[in-house]
Structure 1
Amino acid sequence: MPHNVEYQRYVALGDSTTEGIGDGDEPSGYRGFADRLAEQLAAASPGLRYANLAVRGCGAAHVHERQLPAALDLDPDLATVVAGVNDFLRPRYDVTEVAGHLEATFAALTAAGTHVVTLTFPDIGKIAPIGRLIASRASDLNALVREAAARHGVTVVDTAAHAVTVDPRLWSPDRLHLSPLGHGRSAAAFARALRLPGSDDSWALPLPALPPRGPWQTARTELNWAATFLAPWLVRRLRGISSGTGRDAKRPTLTPVLATAGPGAD
């Protein structure tokens, strides 16, 4: 079914994934799936303006209580809402509370006439072995997100259903953030969900197989990751330090977007 809606005001809400961490760098700025999606939307909807209210490190409560009011003030006709990862990575986790914040965000935006798109999370236990300890948190939240989305007419990009989303090449070395390829695939998935011209299901296709690794190589890789990324992250968590402390949204107002021709997922 072809795209037949022209969006004029796209607002992205969320955490580091929506901010674009992993797709660019600090001095020059991050791009990310939402920026990429905005460029594709602009090709289909001339005159599109785009705002990105995401803040790295934030949870669903921040999206609901801080980002939602700002989003409603911008009167979007399209919004993406991606949050929850930072919640289920924390020691204290209440899936009902997190899902409640997301549903309240869905409800307020759809009541205002906004088309909302969200996603489900892949199996984090397949991205990092230690993630197996909390993999059920992601699957439980996915189930509640699907139910809430159905109640409010929210479009769901079901990334959890596709094996390619746990391919290590779609993830940054820290395994917490998407790589440029991962952001490209995510943007293509959202474009497909919105039936934008040129979009298709190729975002979900598997990548060429990786060469097999022996047990010792695997062990060295895991130990290096734990020392380089996991340990510092745990220290920050124990100290109550968030990567988003003192940060504001990177694009708080609606501004024009330079269009691109297509998904460009890979």
Structure 2
Amino acid sequence: MPSGEYMRYVALGDSQTEGLGDGDDTVGLRGFADRLAEHLAAVNPGLRYANLAVRGRTAGQIRTEQLGPALALRPDLATVVAGVNDLLRPRFNAAEVTGHLEEMFAALTDAGTHVVTLTFPHIGAIAPLARPIRSRVFDLNAGIRAAAARHGVAVAETGRPAVTTDPRLWTADRLHASPLGHERIAAALAQAIHLPGSDDAWTLPLPPQRLPSGWQAAGAELRWAAAHLGPWLGRRLRGRSSGDGRTAKRPQLLPVSTTSDSAADTGHRHSA
């Protein structure tokens, strides 16, 4: 298939693919997958798009819950983004996580789907208290690159440019991209699949901003831990997930309309 000629796009993943940080559950979530679908539709009028992602899902859960439905939709393009929820758990095995990703890569590419994935920035550069998992990020990214190479999967290297750890690309919880962050991820994915009109502008730094003092930075870390890290750990200790009781926001292939209409289309649904 020539570059850019896609008519059935399916997104698999967790909260980033669902769009957390870009809109909310009241007005609807947008996110990088919706934004990429809009880029694709501008080149391919008539494109249809489904988003199977559910927040809180691990790579194994995404493979188990989303791969079958994705294959049934017979996409010619799929994004597969997973692993962050595994990174943050006490027990992390990079080989196991990338094994789940590779199974998805293999099944989709064997079905004739062009697959694109991405690498992750060092979370510790965004949230200093997360620095101990630095090696996990490196191991996961290395595994993603190797698995992608074995199956002809395109990789958007969103883990490499310095701008990807700029706080302005992240929400207050430092785990989800901001609207600007989602915009940059979509642009990176578009470049990775050589979509006409795409380029490397997403790697460019933002204008300089005044840095906080040491005391201000320390205070921000404590507030982040209390407001976001603590509740996240609490859910894990109770065996709960932010995705409990949720289903895919866009489980069927639907036409991609205007940006404002897309927000309305992607309102979140809860399971009974």
**Alignment TM-score, normalising by the size of structure 1:** 0.95
**What is aligned with 2:105?**
106
| 3-state SS in 2 of match to 1:116 | strand
Distance 1:18 1:7 in 2: 19
> Do residues 221 (structure 1) and 204 (structure 2) align?
no
What letter is aligned with 2:197? Answer: G
Structure 1 contact 40–259 (Cα < 8 Å) conserved:
no
What letter is aligned with 2:222? Answer: L
**How many pairs align?**
258
**What is aligned with 1:71?**
70
- Residue ranges of structure 2 left out of the alignment (5+ in a row): 260-272
Structure 1 contact 116–154 (Cα < 8 Å) conserved:
yes
What letter is aligned with 1:89? Answer: L
Structure 1 position 75, deviation (Å) = 0.3
**What is aligned with 1:96?**
95
Distance 1:77 1:20 in 2: 22
What letter is aligned with 2:248? Answer: A
CA deviations on 1:161-205 (whole Å, 9 max, x unpaired) are: 111100000000000100000001111111111222321111010
**What is aligned with 2:152?**
153
Distance 1:61 1:220 in 2: 36
Structure 1 position 4, deviation (Å) = 3.8
Structure 1 position 208, deviation (Å) = 1.1
Distance 2:125 2:189 in 1: 22
- Extract structure 1 runs of 4+ deviating beyond 4 A: none
CA deviations on 1:223-247 (whole Å, 9 max, x unpaired) are: 1111111111111111111001111
Structure 2 contact 3–193 (Cα < 8 Å) conserved:
no
Q: Indicate the larger mover: 16-25 or 216-225.
A: 216-225
| 3-state SS in 2 of match to 1:90 | coil
CA deviations on 1:237-258 (whole Å, 9 max, x unpaired) are: 1111100111100000000002
Structure 1 contact 121–159 (Cα < 8 Å) conserved:
yes
Distance 1:153 1:16 in 2: 25
**Alignment TM-score, normalising by the size of structure 2:** 0.93
| 3-state SS in 2 of match to 1:76 | coil
| 3-state SS in 2 of match to 1:79 | strand
Distance 1:232 1:220 in 2: 18
| 3-state SS in 1 of match to 2:159 | helix
Structure 1 position 259, deviation (Å) = 5.7
**What is aligned with 1:125?**
124
Structure 1 contact 18–54 (Cα < 8 Å) conserved:
yes
Distance 1:41 1:7 in 2: 7
> Do residues 182 (structure 1) and 181 (structure 2) align?
yes
Distance 2:195 2:257 in 1: 16
Q: Percent identity?
A: 67
Distance 1:27 1:40 in 2: 24
Structure 1 contact 9–75 (Cα < 8 Å) conserved:
yes
CA deviations on 1:30-62 (whole Å, 9 max, x unpaired) are: 000000000110111111100000000001111
- Residue ranges of structure 1 left out of the alignment (5+ in a row): 261-266
CA RMSD of aligned residues (A): 1.1
| 3-state SS in 2 of match to 1:183 | helix
Distance 2:225 2:219 in 1: 10
**What is aligned with 2:262?**
none
